[in-house]
């Protein structure tokens, strides 16, 4: 069983027990978050696709860490002009573990 969820402008394919990094969301380590923007859900019998989201499926996750990623160096230059510019950036992220994918069949 897996689901495709949208979080922070990106899409992730998740199964129970997966750990992944998503864009920073509010919460402390140990808190539970619910990812309700589910685009696709597949269990052993069928595949369901949302238009754009599935209303009866949600993904529960536990926050593991609130951290910053490795530094990315941005270096710009123009050849033969003496122009150099160096900049760096560290992106905040939230590490999560998927605990459950819940589906409530609507009849």
In 27-89, beta strands by DSSP E: 32-35, 38-42, 47-49, 57-68, 72-78, 83-89
Q: Is 83 within a domain?
A: no
Q: Is 77 within a domain?
A: no
Structure tokens of 104? 């409530």
Q: Is 27 within a domain?
A: yes
Q: Is 30 within a domain?
A: yes
Q: Is 86 within a domain?
A: no
Question: Whole domain around residue 13: which residue ranges?
Answer: 2-66+95-103
Sequence-distant (≥ 6) Cβ neighbours of residue 80 within 8 angstroms: none
Q: Is 38 within a domain?
A: yes
Answer for the pair 3, 43: CB distance below 8 angstroms, yes or no: no
Q: Is 88 within a domain?
A: no
**Structural domain count of the chain:** 1
> pLDDT by residue (tens digit) across 15-72?
999 999 999 999 999 999 999 999 999 988 889 999 999 999 999 999 999 999 999 9
């Amino acid at each position: 069983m897996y689901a495709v969820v949208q979080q922070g402008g990106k899409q992730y394919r998740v199964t129970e027990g997966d750990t992944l990094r998503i864009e920073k969301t509010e919460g402390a380590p140990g808190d539970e978050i619910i990812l309700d923007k589910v685009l696709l859900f597949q269990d052993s019998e069928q595949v369901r696709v949302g238009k754009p989201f599935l209303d009866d499926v949600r993904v529960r996750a536990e926050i593991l860490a609130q951290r910053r990623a490795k530094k990315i160096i941005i270096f710009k230059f123009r050849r033969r002009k003496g122009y150099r510019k160096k900049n760096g950036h560290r992106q905040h992220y939230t590490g999560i573990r998927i605990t459950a994918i819940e589906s409530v069949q609507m009849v």
